[in-house]
Structure 1
Amino acid sequence: MAQHHNEDIEGENGFWFRRIYMTYSRDLNEAFSTRIRLEMNSAGDFQSGTEMIPNVKDAYLKWENENHQILAGISGSPLFGLSEDVWGYRSVEKSPQDLYDFGSSRDFGLAFKGQLGQAGNLTYHLFVGNGNGNKPDVDKGKKVSLALGYYLTEHFVIEGYGDVNSKTNDPNSYTAQLFSGYQSEKINIGALYSNQYEEGQLGLAARSLDLVSVFANFKISDKTKGFLRADHLFGGYMGGSENSYIPFSEDVESTFMVAGADFFLSDQVHLMPNIETIVYGENNQGISPDTDIIPRLTLFWNF
């Protein structure tokens, strides 16, 4: 942490495992398959000494035919599946909606996804789940989310998304989102707008939060790529001070930026120097928190 608005964190440095995946997938027959994935992480709160403990990331049974799939269990949410694919660097940083807690990357329930039309250029992903990620269900409310994508060309896609997350003990929330992306061998470009509205409850005011993000990754040579991204949050990030690995100031607007290079040491090993920066707006007293500057060296490999 070369510079940080929180003096207790400024100067902190060290090594982390941001993410370890262990995955087992198996085809049961032509129609059915199953997948189990465990995830482990180093604690990212700058104070806890907790050892890495595996948790269940995926656990589902999938039925599929040529164009359609049904998944039962814990599987990926439609909220940022496509945008994360276009961003392409979850190993460096979470997708914008995931970073700001607009929703979880996983949910427990039933998912229906596939392609429609003769050309298969219309995609859908409907999820009816607990709305509590991969954690146990703690109330009778449910989350219904739907993403509809349309491929205008082989490379250019647009997607609309919406969800309703009804809760028994917490305020209900609603998310609406538009995304457009371009993918090719030489360059990927994405642009995102997302709004989340949370109802007021027990004396708390309703809250509406807007997020915009633009990002790109591009080929420099056969063994090198570059990546850039900028997010702007039009409001305070509630709970941002507890965000793992990059705590945010909570009561001001923020602009998050990351830039870096991806060096292919081999097809399965990547070294990615990058720098993350968070610039803050003014709070109610007209004061802007110090800018956060975080230089990092990310090592990614798969096996």
Structure 2
Amino acid sequence: MKSALLFAVLLMGSSSSASAQKKVSVSGEYHGNLGMDLSDNGNDGAEMAFNTTRMYVTVNASLNKMFSMRTTLDFENFTGDATGLKTPLLGYIKYAYFTVKPLEDMEIRFGQQPSPWIGVMDKIMGYRYVYKTGLDYYKLGDSADTGLSVVGSVFDSMIQYQVGVFNGVGYKTQTEGQEPLNLMTAARLSVYPLAGQKGSHFSRLGLHLYGKTEAEDDSGTTNRTMLYGGALSFNHKYVDLLVEFMMRSSNVDGDDGGMLVAPYLKLKYGKFSIFWTYSMLKEENSEDTWSRIIAGATFDYSKNFAVSLNYQTVFSEKNTKDLNYSGLFLNTLFKF
């Protein structure tokens, strides 16, 4: 933990001279909440607590118009057993990649970088400090991975894309060597048909398609899984809408795949808004169908500060009471 903090301080300090040349920039983002546990499941946990759920420190450096680099330090609660502590707040390197930009609307990324789907969906809704999107929440994918990808747009951003090859283990697990064909390949295609009509109410109406496939060898048998689907999005002065739909398939014995459905709705007026989201995961080889509902209100003081009061509940179709959860939260967002 101390080394991670020292790393962040050194990065910020070392940027002072370079930033004068406009080559290095430092930014940060804080997510936290005050939560009240409303669950009736017999747990003896604290009824109310303050939580730091996320802290990002990002350094961007550019050598010239073609070459640049990004490093993001991500603090979050560690849930493994390696430390011997109960969910300590630790730092991870989430993003560490360099970019080559051969064309104005295309760049090539190499290293630990944003995966094609989750970050784009987070940006559309703008509620990452309150909740994760359905695919991220149910761990059907990772928001970052190590690999090589091409990111770009054509026709004045009417079509946007990212396609790449990755290790497929996220950013907290060390990868093991594997056959090249078993690496994860992932691609996203976003289409905004009216993007060129800036005065149109539907200029931010988008259709997004996504797919990924990965495999691993198991005693001479190749186990392959696929995730594919898409989303419909709409951003407007008074309303934001996003609907995700994903299917997961696998040839592993006993794994019949699953389905994810997740709509999000936000109504806005000035700096105030109300929102609602529902996400459902059905695994074909499980008796449970998990559902999550979140609803609340927000006050966006600026792009750098916001607060949200909301209710969250997670439950299963078979009423697995020891895992059901509900709570009331006051979430905060601060950026610099």
The TM-score range, normalised by the shorter chain, is: 0.7 to 0.9
Q: Offset of 1:4 from its aligned partner?
A: 4.9
Identify the range of structure 1 (160-169 vs 15-24) with the bigger mean alpha-carbon deviation.
160-169
The counterpart of 1:269, out of the listed 299, 305, 318, is 305
CA distance in structure 2 between the aligned counterparts of 1:177 and 1:230, rounded to whole angstroms: 17
Count, aligned residues: 279
1:126 counterpart residue number? 163
Deviation at 1:12, TM superposition (A): 4.4
- Among candidates 89, 92, 109, match of residue 147 of structure 2: 109
In 1, Cα distance between the equivalents of 2:293 and 2:121? Answer: 17
1:289 equivalent in alignment to 2:320:
yes
Q: Which residue type is aligned with residue 31 of structure 1?
A: M
> Which structure: larger Rg?
2
How far apart are the structure 2 equivalents of 1:152 and 1:294? 40
- Cα distance, 1:3–1:143 mapped onto 2, change above 3 Å: same
1:203-218 → structure 2 map (5 Å cutoff) = 204-218=253-267
Runs of 4+ more than 4 Å apart: 9-12
- The letter of the residue matching 1:144 is T
Q: d(CA) in 2 for partners of 1:235 and 1:144?
A: 23
- Secondary structure, counterpart of 2:258 in structure 1: strand
- How far apart are residue 251 of structure 1 and its match? 4.7
State the match for 2:226 in structure 1.
Answer: 174
- CA separation of 1:16 and 1:68: change in aligned 2, threshold 3 A: same
Q: Residues 4-62 of structure 1: CA distance to partner in whole angstroms, max 9, x if unpaired?
A: 54x336654322211000110011101111100001113468x9435422110100101
**Amino acid of the structure 2 residue aligned with 1:83:** M
Matched, 1:185 2:237: yes
Q: CA deviation at 1:87?
A: 2.0
How many angstroms does 1:267 deviate by?
4.4
Identity of aligned residues (%): 21
What are structure 1's unaligned runs of at least 5 residues?
239-249, 283-287
CA positional deviation for 1:133: 0.9
Q: Secondary structure at the match of 1:35?
A: strand
Question: Quick one: distance in 1 between partners of 2:55 and 2:295?
Answer: 23
- Is the CA contact (8 Å cut-off) linking 1:139 and 1:167 kept in structure 2? no
Contact 2:259-2:283 within 8 A present in 1 as well: yes
Q: Distance in 2 between matches of 1:171 and 1:71?
A: 28
DSSP 3-state at the match of 1:234: strand
C-alpha distance 263-126 of structure 1, shift in aligned 2 (>3 A): same
Alignment match, 1:300: 333
| Counterpart residue type for residue 241 of structure 2 | I
Q: Is the 8 A contact 1:180 1:191 kept in 2?
A: yes
Tell me the amino acid that sits aligned with residue 178 of structure 1.
Answer: G
- Code of the residue aligned with 1:281 in structure 2: it is E
Provide the aligned C-alpha RMSD in A: 2.3
Query: CA–CA distance in 2 between the matches of 1:267 and 1:152?
Result: 27
More helix by share: 2
* Residue 36 (1) aligns with residue 71 (2): yes
Aligned partner of residue 86 in structure 1, secondary structure: helix
Question: Looking at both structures, which has the greater relative contact order when contacts are Cα pairs under 8 Å and sequence separation is at least 6?
Answer: 2
Q: 1:14 aligns with which of 30, 38, 49?
A: 49
1:143 is matched with 184
CA distance in 2, matches of 1:102, 1:122: 25
Query: Gaps spanning 5+ residues in structure 2: where?
Result: 1-36, 195-202
Q: Any idea what SS the aligned residue of 1:16 has?
A: strand
Residue in 2 that maps onto 1:72? 110
TM-score, normalising length: structure 2: 0.77
Distance 2:122 2:38 in 1: 27
